[in-house]
Amino acid sequence: MSDRFTLSSLALHNLRRRPLRTGILVAALTLMVAALVFALSFVMRVNASINLTAERLGADLLVVPTGSRGAAEDILVENKARSFYMSRSMVDRIRSIEGIDKVCYQTYLVTLTGLCCSVPESMIVAFNQETDFIVTPWLKNKLGRKLQKGEAIVGSESAYNINLGLVNVDGLLFGNVFHMVGVLDKTGSGLDTAVFISDDNIEEILKNSKAGIRPDQISVIFAKIRKGADLYKVMSEIENTILEVDVVMRKDIGKSLITSLGDISKIFYLTMVLSTSLSLFLVWAIFTAIANERTREVGIMRALGAKEKHVVKLFLIEVLALGAIASIAGIIGGSALTLLTAKSFSILKNLPVELSVTARVFISLAGLLFGTGICALGALAPIRRLKKLEPLLVIKQE
């Protein structure tokens, strides 16, 4: 029989009984799930960006001038344009440390719109093609050859920034015309927004512009350690012997960003705890009211043969349906909020990594489980009370 009367039919009737009260409960749960989805999306996106940057860096250690650790992370994790310099002699000193396998270096220049360059503020990364192991694998993959003097290749996200969008066009960088020969594949790091040139060009750049650096200066040294060497020992050796530098381990990249996000995370957690407590209380209060209202009905149903499990099932269907509706609305709302704020929050705007489909599915499932779980938890006590109701007590009250 297609339209057989079941407990689900009864639950559906019950859900329609007090639309305003049901609406308030759904709205509260929706807000709670939306807040959770937003917070999870934010935190997971920051973490994914940091992890991917560290994973794809291709180096075990990052050596920067003392005090420039934060600026280096700004470039790598948050796509921000920064410049800092140290002497190139540091490369040999790092190479001479016990346990170091190989090193390479990069020099960072920041373009200034209108003064020297035909592009908005961007990072220009000059690298040594003989020693480099950071950019070269990507370059080989895309271009299949080394960059010539006067040639540049742009990061996957920078093509739009420099208004090119196409390869085989010329752009003015620090008073020098560069031929853009291609666009690198997306690396997932902050360097995706940079423009890459060979460090052969530095001399010409210095000749034709006021780039503000000396020819023997570099920005960052990347180091790989020998197999079996103790990473912590090598790092400590560098810091103890070369006072002009700071060392960042690959796994620690993004730590300063995470620290600076600590307060935001605390606000998120506090908001979640408050909204969860409020929702839990609201569900409990509303279902206690529902239980009081329906005591007589449950007594009648028990007298007509309903088992305890029927009473539990009836209310669970209602609770889970409400939780599921609110959770789905919350997931949609939270995702929309994430998308909207992605353009408003500078930190989100600069993060190189978007959430993967798997991460989005995980967040949605977490929202669904959380929303329905809180709903079920809040209704537990009133349902237990109704389940144990003795029908005669209700009948005698009439």
Partner 1 sequence: MPQIVIQNITKTYTIGNERIDAVRAASLEIEKGDFLSIVGHSGSGKTTLLSLIGGITRPSSGAVFYDGTDIQALGSDLLSDYRCEKIGFMFQFASLLPMLTVKENLLLPSAFRSRRSEIEETKAKELLSMVGLVEKINAYPPQLSGGQQRRVAIARAFMNSPEIILADEPTGDLDEDTEMAMMDFFRKMNRTEQITFVMVTHNTDLARRTQRQFRMSHGVIRQQ
Count of Cβ atoms closer than 10 Å to residue 354 Cβ: 13
Asked if residue 312 binds partner 1 (CB under 8 A), the reply is: no
- Check: CB of residue 272 under 8 Å from CB of residue 114: no
Binding to partner 1 by residue 310, rule CB under 8 A?
yes
Stretch that binds partner 1, among 12-20, 27-35, 228-236, 274-282 (CB under 8 A): 12-20
Nearer to partner 1, 230 or 293 (CB): 293
- Residues 335 to 394: which contact partner 1 by CB under 8 A? 390-392
Whether the Cβ atoms of residue 187 and residue 156 lie closer than 8 Å to each other: yes
Helices 357-387/262-293 angle, 10° precision = 30
Q: How many residues in the shown chain lie near partner 1 by CB under 8 A?
A: 29
Is residue 20 part of the contact set for partner 1 (CB under 8 A)?
Answer: no
DSSP state, 354? P
315 binds partner 1 (CB under 8 A): no
**Residue among 4, 92, 144, 240 that touches partner 1 (CB under 8 A):** 4
Q: How far is the CB of 26 from partner 1 (least distance, A)?
A: 19
Sign of the alpha-carbon torsion through 232, 235, 237, 240: negative
Question: For residues 280-309, which are near partner 1 according to CB under 8 A?
Answer: 297, 300-309
Strand boundaries in the chain, DSSP class E: 61-65, 86-87, 100-110, 123-127, 151-154, 169-173, 176-183, 195-198, 217-218, 220-225, 245-249
**Site for partner 1 contains 228 (CB under 8 A):** no
Q: Return the number of the residue (9 or 163) whose C-beta is nearest partner 1.
A: 9
Q: Does 22 bind partner 1 (CB under 8 A)?
A: no
Q: What is the DSSP letter of 244?
A: T
Contact residue for partner 1 among 227, 228, 343, 396 (CB under 8 A): 396
Per CB under 8 A, 9 contacts partner 1 = yes
Work out whether 232 is an interface residue with partner 1 (CB under 8 A): no
Q: Shortest distance, CB of residue 380 to partner 1, whole angstroms?
A: 19
- Residues with Cβ within 8 Å of 284's Cβ and at least 6 positions away in sequence, in order, are 378, 379, 381, 382
7 is a contact residue toward partner 1 (CB under 8 A)? yes
- 223 near 239, Cβ under 8 Å? no
Centroid of chain to Cα 139: 27
Which residues contact partner 1 (rule: CB under 8 A)? Answer: 1, 4-7, 9-10, 13-14, 16-17, 297, 300-310, 390-392, 395-396, 398
